[in-house]
Amino acid sequence: MNFRKSQMEDVDRILELIEMAKSLLKEMGIDQWQNGYPNREKIENDVNKGISYVLEIEKASTEKTDFDKNSNKKIVATIVLSPEPETAYDNIDGSWKTTEPYVAIHRVAVDNSVKNQGIATKILSYSENFCRENGIENLRADTHIENIPMQRVLIKQGFEVCGEITLDREPDVGAKRIAFDKIVKK
């Protein structure tokens, strides 16, 4: 597996992963990501800011799957690791574990063909390594109140529920999210 910063040529694949996640959320009756967000402009902005990452796997020589025909690698997950403070995190109904600088996790999506194979867990582990390498000891995330699969992954990775936040940006102004925090050990 290879965890790396996203490149502009990855945007189409990242959008495919986002669309898979949108469809799955819709099937589960969750209104998260059902209003045009995230879109190409947002993903391209993430790449340009250098905060978008992907997880690639390599094809085994006998494997016949939908790998890029020009490569033996396939992007199977994406995540945004943002060091920018989130204004919505300033007003939490609850309390964060620490007030230290943090990296916020956003826009996690995993290819449906590798669901339930530990890929989300792996990308969160890589995120912790990113924090360690950059001297940041705090990871934060938020997710839809009904997004139980993401909540389970976060809790499995040692994140703790800290309370509830209210989103303050379009297109989800006023939407409630469960807030998670994790102290990253060096």
CA 130/CA 125 separation, integer angstroms: 9
- pLDDT tens digits, one per residue of 140-154: 999 999 999 999 999
pLDDT above 70 (res 175): yes
Which is more confidently placed, 70 or 132?
A: 132
Domain boundaries, the chain: 2-183
Q: Which two tokens stand for residue 95?
A: 């309390």
Q: How confident is the model at residue 69 (pLDDT cuts 50, 70, 90)?
A: low
Mean pLDDT across the chain, nearest whole number?
A: 91
* Dihedral of alpha carbons 123, 41, 172, 18, sign: negative
Instruction: Find out whether 58 and 73 touch, Cβ atoms under 8 Å.
Output: yes
Q: How confident is the model at residue 62 (pLDDT cuts 50, 70, 90)?
A: very low
Which is more confidently placed, 169 or 94?
A: 94
CA 118/CA 186 separation, integer angstroms: 23
Class of domain 2-183: alpha beta
End-to-end alpha-carbon separation of the chain, Å?
22
Residue type, 74: K
